[in-house]
Chains A and B, each alone.
Chain A
Amino acid sequence: MDAQTVIETNDLTKYYAQQAAVDGLNLQVQEGEIFGFLGPNGAGKTTTILMLLGLTEPSKGEARVCGFNPTREPRKVKRVVGYLQENVGFYRDMTARENLTYVARLNHIPEEISSGKIGEALEIVGLSADAEKKVEVFSRGMSQRLGIAEVLIKDPKVCFLDEPTLGLDPDGAIRMIELIHRLSRDRKITMLISSHNLDQVQRISHRVGIMIKGKLVATGPMEDLAKEKLGVGKKKYTLEEIYMKYFREV
């Protein structure tokens, strides 16, 4: 395995009641890369992430995250991976800071370090002023940013962001995407962003993978995909077009 490869899957397959949710997935993500994991709802993106985290067992094949096998060593993987789930949940009757403190404790971060880290993380996502507010008054965009802060306090090497812009207004979505971009650049965090929203993700992804019905139908830098499917020389393309083209083919 290449030392630079952070996420690698080999023929990763998951069946739910005889039906393949993820079908023979082969994926490599390099260190520091932003990988856009694209596909319609129900394509198997979340299931893939769960397998990469060791939260569910692959039916076939195996995965490696930072050199660890998530099925065998789930805790080692969870120590280095930050996971922002779809519809991130918080304890609503606790304040933002209390929620983050709990996660810091679960990650075995000593109290004297954690309060500084929490303050810093809240600062980065722009929630410093709301730290002492209960999460129940948070808007969707604020919750989502708090989710990013929560991921940051454990200083992850890799982040799995599952639909980070889902349900955000256009302004919120743009700010979220920019935040992710900035974090990847400043902190050298490898990002795997799952989304069905092409426009937002294509702007910051170094490479994208398109997953449809459990199969990874294409991977690579967007320009390559565009050439392959739309012909060389076409100046203006959107990922939407590429995506729809693949979608019709399957």
Chain B
Amino acid sequence: MRRFSIPFQTFRENLREMMSEGIDTHGLLVVFKKELADNFVSYRFVLLFALIAMVSLISTYMTGVGLREELEGVAKPKFVFLMLFTSTGAWFSLVQFVAFFGPLIGLVLGFDSINREKSTGTMSKLVSQPIFRDSIINGKFLAGVTTVAIMFVSIVLVISGLGLRVLGVVPGIEEVWRIIIYLIISIIYVSFWLGITMLFSILFRNIATSALASIAVWIFFSFFLSLAATAVANAVVPIPSSGAETEIVIRHARIQEGVRLISPMELYSDATATIIDPMRKTTRSLVLMGPMERLLSSRFQNPLALSQSILVVWPYIVSLIAITLVCFGFSYAVFMRQEIRPV
């Protein structure tokens, strides 16, 4: 009760003031610059960056060397450059690595962004300066997104350089586009996690609580949801041990797919699947394909055109953007109405 005490009336009045005076770009810019600088000099960011850069470099190098050996004496297939990102190499592909560890970047950047400032008393100072309150949260969020973007772009550039050297193949223009689109989706994906953890840092006063909540959500979506998907599908449409009808198998697979897609991680994997791997023509499993789709994928061996690849995963991309916006919008609404008292 105490924390949500600013009635909607004020919220609306403040919005009106914002409308009449325009968006406070100055305050936003000041907060943004400071937060960005903070992100880049913080130890945790440097550590995380070093870790991710190291893992991606090592895995790309090993993948590259593996690819070079495999392709020795063979005509180079199309899109060999993209294989750097998708081949599983030694342990995992780079794409899998980002899907799994990307959330951690958002988590590290966001989990204490609001409640730390509340506990040190600087938040109370910020809100008593003549800036709009949303400049604070927008500036922090944008600074986080920019940090992630710079981090990803630089890593991909380094990887590409390494790939050029190891593979000796120059990426084609379409490959470059695919990598750019992949980067954009990845940044949105990590922004979603940043939004989630910022929401926790607004909702929970205690930094440890918000960190644990963020980790809990990450682990839940990363490990447990795929188990849950199978469990739910088994419970709703049990498949008899013998003589299962096709109808039942398909329904089972559909339910499993539906539950699985609740996880942003799966959403991201599906959204990037056909983009970064042009040989993939669908995100669906074989069971769920229609007869025409099955025919298509067996008949045509050529890769999908870029526009077609985008079309296939468009719904996933839109969903990813939507959940990111919903998540940040909710944080925004809560933060704008929260009463901030000095400690």
Contact = CB atoms under 8 A, between A and B. Distances in A.
B131 A83 contact: no
Interface in A40-91: 46, 50, 53, 55-57, 71-76, 78-79, 81, 83, 85-91
Nearest to A15: B5
Interface stretch (A98-106, A120-128, A174-182): A98-106
Interface in B326-343: 339-343
Contact of A75 (B132, B340, B341, B343): B132
B2 interface: yes
Interface stretch (B79-87, B121-129, B285-293): B121-129
A108 B1 contact: no
A244 B122 CA distance: 35
A46 B122 contact: no
B247 interface: no
Given A50-B341, A87-B342, A72 B125 contact: no
Given A17-B1, A89-B120, A55 B339 contact: yes
| Secondary structure of the B contact surface, majority rule | helix
B27 A106 contact: yes
B339 A79 contact: no
A107 interface: yes
Interface of B: 1-2, 5-7, 9-10, 13-14, 17, 21, 26-27, 30-31, 34, 117, 120-132, 339-343
A79 B5 CA distance: 24
Given A57-B5, A72-B17, A75-B17, A106 B131 contact: yes
Given A56-B5, A85-B121, A102-B34, A108 B10 contact: no
Contacts of B17: 72-75
Contacts of B122: 89-91
- Chain A interface size, under 10 / 10 to 19 / 20 to 34 / 35 or more: 20 to 34
Q: Among the interface residues A50, A74, A76, A106, which one has the most CB atoms of the partner chain B within 10 A? A: A106
Given A85-B121, A86-B342, A106-B31, 20 more contacts: A16-B2, A46-B342, A56-B339, A57-B9, A72-B13, A74-B14, A75-B21, A78-B128, A79-B130, A85-B124, A85-B125, A87-B343, A88-B121, A89-B124, A89-B125, A90-B122, A103-B129, A106-B30, A108-B130, A150-B125
A16 B34 CA distance: 35
7 contacts: A16-B5, A50-B341, A72-B17, A78-B130, A89-B120, A90-B122, A103-B125
A50 B117 CA distance: 18
A81 B76 CA distance: 70
A92 interface: yes
Given A16-B5, A91-B122, A102-B34, A55 B10 contact: no
Interface of A: 16-17, 46, 50, 53, 55-57, 71-76, 78-79, 81, 83, 85-92, 102-103, 105-108, 150, 162
Contacts of B341: 46, 50
Contacts of A72: 13, 17
A226 to B, nearest CB: 32
A17 B2 contact: yes
Contacts of B343: 86-87, 89
Given A88-B121, A92-B120, A162 B27 contact: no
Contacts of B130: 75-76, 78-79, 106-108
A72 B11 CA distance: 10
Contacts of A162: 342
Contacts of A73: 17
Nearest to B135: A106
A162 B341 CA distance: 12
A57 B34 CA distance: 29
A71 B10 contact: yes
A151 to B, nearest CB: 10
Sort A-B residue pairs by CB-CB distance and give the 10 closest, nearest first. Answer: A89-B121, A85-B342, A78-B130, A106-B129, A89-B122, A79-B130, A105-B30, A89-B120, A83-B128, A57-B10
A60 B129 CA distance: 25
A148 B187 CA distance: 42
A92 to B, nearest CB: 7
Contacts of B2: 16-17
A19 to B, nearest CB: 11
A55 B14 CA distance: 11
A57 B1 contact: no
Given A46-B342, A57-B7, A75-B131, A88 B125 contact: yes
Contacts of A85: 121, 124-125, 128, 342
Nearest to B10: A57
B125 A87 contact: no
A71 B6 CA distance: 10
Contacts of B128: 53, 55, 78, 81, 83, 85
Nearest to A47: B341
Contacts of B127: 55
Nearest to A143: B121
Contacts of A106: 27, 30-31, 126, 129-131
Nearest to A16: B2
B99 to A, nearest CB: 33
A72 to B, nearest CB: 6
